[in-house]
Structure 1
Amino acid sequence: SHNLESIDTTSMTHKLLLEVCMAAKYEGNSIDTHYPQHQRTNEDSPSQICTMLARSFADIGDIVRGKDLFYGNSKEKEKRDELETNLKTIFGKIHEKLKDKEGAETRYGSDTTNYYQLREDWWYANRATVWEAITCDVHGSDYFRQTCGDKETTATRVKDKCRCKDENGKKPGSNADQVPTYFDYVPQYLRWFEEWAEDFCRKKKKKLEKLEQQCRDYKQNLYCSGNGYDCTKTIYKKGKLVIGEHCTNCSVWCRLYES
């Protein structure tokens, strides 16, 4: 939303797509720049670069359509409110130009405040171009599942620039390729939940692996409880509690895991 926040409502009506694409390209470059560090520290994460781009693409779509739920702190909220006001003004001007078009009154006439239907149609018409912009500088990356093609049974993965291969004899790069994601039509709160759950499970897996290393090592006869007791010698029912010589680390990591 970096570029979107600077939209000038007095002259940007015809340049809206350009500004949205500039924002998408800026966001794509930012993700691509920081991605190598993410990949090094999160090799087991299913969210590789195409998925991360798809999430940002969907966020841009929500902003354009007036569906964005994120406001952040008071300063960020002020910027988002200003952006939403500017977008309403721009789509109001587009709405005004469309009022004499056949069918426009029926489709858009009832909404003269937020222009939700007009914004939805604008996004649908331009989403492929925005995807091209956000993936402009990306090369050789897979999307997380098969989404290219008209049928689920024959769908394939993207192989380059997070875009689907041309299937109809059209020239590559002509923007005729299918956008490989529909994240922009998944409710934002569900996308957030999925992202949170993925991050939670990834961190939990790493902590569990560390726990196993510190508490269970059968080659070294290490079998510790979370309280630091040696499970091979401790008999709880008889009140026999034996602190393991090498079980202190297990106790520490268990406390960290619980917190």
Structure 2
Amino acid sequence: MCTYRYGQQFKSKALIDLLLFILVLSDCYLTTSGSNGKVIGGRKAVLGEFPATVCLDGIIRCGGTLVSLVTVITAGHCFFLKEKRVNPSDIVIIGGTVDLEEESGDKQYRVNDIALAFLESAFIETKTLKPAFFPASNAAGMREYMDRIKASNATCHGTGYGFVSMEPKIISQYLKVIELSLLPDIVLPELIEYEMCAISNKAFHQTSYGDSGSTFLCGGQIVGLTKGGLGTLPDDEHINVLVFTLLGPYFEDFGLGGCDGMPNFLFLPVVLLCFLFSSFYCSRI
């Protein structure tokens, strides 16, 4: 397993005590196309349709999933810009809305997080902001659920607040959603077990810059997060292949598995030490 280690601090907007967050992050990267990270096309999400989906905004734009009222999970590479680590104080997490210009009046917290973040001061649960509910409580159960999804050809959905156009560059103020169909594993056998490939059910609809880390659902259940793109199918250059990271294999590492997504970590009053392990298959596809 190839790893890169560094320390990270974060605090809430309400000036809560600092927590120490240590991440072991892989320094191996899967080569992706230039269109990873946003939803192009698709439709606007309905308020409350994806209550666990949040937006990471600031110097970068990414999505994330609220796995508890004090925990957000997202893609690690969302915190690097031009191969340099983003200042975490420049990141704000927004939830409970599908319109970033909407004034909700609800409390929002400034979160400095990498992949997984913890707050002493929790989000306030509402009808439009809720922790993720997973279809299984452990990695084996999540694997069985995905096997049923693939066998039934169930519809999946990608979400995000990313760019809706590259020329000119236009970033969305709305949460967007696209319908997806999973690809058989045999199509891209290079992918490792915790990733899934899909294609849009409509032409020219895809994820791209700004959607990385946002919620990925299959059969109406949260199963992963957006990673990026792999270009086009080997036998059809008009079909973009999108890649999604499955959360199931990480349930034990991240302490997930509660029926409401609540992590099984022990929270200390001031300082929390958390070690996360990720192993990536390093090769060019």
Q: What TM-score bracket applies, with the shorter chain setting the length?
A: under 0.3
More strand by share: 2
More helix by share: 1
* Larger RCO, structures 1/2 (Cα 8 Å, 6+ apart): 2
Q: What TM-score, normalized to structure 2?
A: 0.25
Q: What TM-score, normalized to structure 1?
A: 0.26
Larger of the two Rg values belongs to structure:
1
